[in-house]
Structure 1
Amino acid sequence: MYGAVFVFYGKFLMSTYLKPYLPPAQQVALLQSRGMVITDQVKAEECLSRIGYYRLSAYWYPFRESQLVMQAGHQFEVVGDNFKAGTTFSSCLELYVFDKKLRMLVMDGLERIEVAVRTDIALLLGQHDRNAHRLGTLLHGNFAKKVNVNTGLTGHQKWLDKQDSLFRDSKEEFVKHFKSRYPQSHLPIWMAVELWDFGMLSHFFGGMKVADKDQIAALYQVTDGQTLESWLRSLNVIRNICAHHSRLWNKPLAITPKWPKGAAARQTG
């Protein structure tokens, strides 16, 4: 990803990886040879030993020199190995620290959202049936009835498989108590939500009926449930990035959240 990009007839040409192993001291020398300013070599070696060259390379990647080239009528950006003038190791390290703090702040906000929406779902659907999350009649047809030709399962059946697996393997005290006292029963929705991660939450919300999604969206002054669904799916991607300590700063999202419609969009813009 971070090596020079070669362009061949409008396509990226992948070559065999042959770069040798380099200890931190040689990594520092390599960065300096490419134009990075490193005023404290000992500290730089310590950071590379503790954090890792490849991990830090994501934060100095935008500071590498690049040029635009034309191939077969298409324009491509070719990123080289050398750094732009004035690029310093300390500034790249500051970006890494900033990103770490950003992920911690985001995780705090995501926890609040996750807990709140799980509770919203339990309160809304629980009034219909304690096992509402298991009943396809209370969910959207695309989720409950549409069969995937590859798996032979509906989205709801696949989701329930994960729910049941979490229940079966859980070591939570409330789950052990429930199993011992009600061995023939399923967890009611107001308990089951406590086993959901953000991915299960966002997928289940997407499988709810339109009216139910709209009702929960209204609690957050979001124009409609479909918009909130896209936000939850996008937030799930962000949550996974943060949970795996990956780079969040300057990273495009795999799922783009939808912009609110109408008057609400103008008010929030």
Structure 2
Amino acid sequence: MVYARSLSKLDSDVKSSKEDFIRHLTGKYEEELPPIWAAVELMTMGQLSKWFSNIRLRKDRQSISSVYQMNEKVMTSFCEHLSLVRNYAAHHARLWNRQLTKTFILPTNADEALVESLYSRPVNPR
């Protein structure tokens, strides 16, 4: 059901798109939807987050996450959190001192530079 709604929304976005690359792809090729690299260009952060978290097989989410040296649960939490923060920022809402309903999971076994950049204090003080 969620997949069908997401697919319907994407189809609607493609059909209503005025983007040159979408018009080119839909005019030149017979596929119902453009390739994923083009479809992602039309997605909002929220849609992209939902598509990622709704990938049925955990191993597929993990495969994508591993490119960023993250666990798929951490990556899913980042996507949800960034979508929320982006929406607040886009609508000129205050971010300072706000209790966010979605917070991201901090990675503990990722690249050291990534981990340290996400903590307010160094993880491994020298």
The answer to whether the superposition gives a TM-score over 0.5 is yes
Give the 3-state SS of the residue equivalent to 2:24 in structure 1: helix
Query: How does 1:16-27 map onto structure 2 within 5 Å?
Result: none
1:250 to 91, 94, 97: 97
Change (3 A) 1:173 1:253: same
Query: How does 1:116-265 map onto structure 2 within 5 Å?
Result: 154-182=1-29, 185-208=32-55, 209-222=57-70, 224-261=71-108, 263-264=109-110
Structure 1 residue 183: Cα displacement? 5.3
Q: Which runs of 5+ in 1 are unaligned?
A: 1-153
Residues 81, 103 of structure 2: 8 Å contact kept? yes
Distance 1:166 1:190 in 2: 15
TM-score by length of 1: 0.39
Greater strand content = 1
TM-score by length of 2: 0.79
Residues 259, 265 of structure 1: 8 Å contact kept? no
* Deviations 1:16-55, CA, capped at 9 Å, x for gaps: xxxxxxxxxxxxxxxxxxxxxxxxxxxxxxxxxxxxxxxx
Structure 1 residue 236: Cα displacement? 0.3
Structure 1 residue 258: Cα displacement? 1.7
Structure 1 consecutive aligned stretches of length 4 or more whose deviation exceeds 6 Å: none
Give the 3-state SS of the residue equivalent to 1:186 in structure 2: coil
Residues 69, 111 of structure 2: 8 Å contact kept? no
Distance 1:205 1:255 in 2: 16
* Deviations 1:62-95, CA, capped at 9 Å, x for gaps: xxxxxxxxxxxxxxxxxxxxxxxxxxxxxxxxxx
Aligned-pair RMSD on alpha carbons? 2.1
Question: Greater relative contact order (Cα 8 A, min sep 6): structure 1 or 2?
Answer: 2
Query: How does 1:6-25 map onto structure 2 within 5 Å?
Result: none
Give the 3-state SS of the residue equivalent to 1:256 in structure 2: coil
Q: Which runs of 5+ in 2 are unaligned?
A: 117-122
Distance 2:41 2:49 in 1: 14
Bigger radius of gyration: 1
Give the 3-state SS of the residue equivalent to 1:255 in structure 2: coil
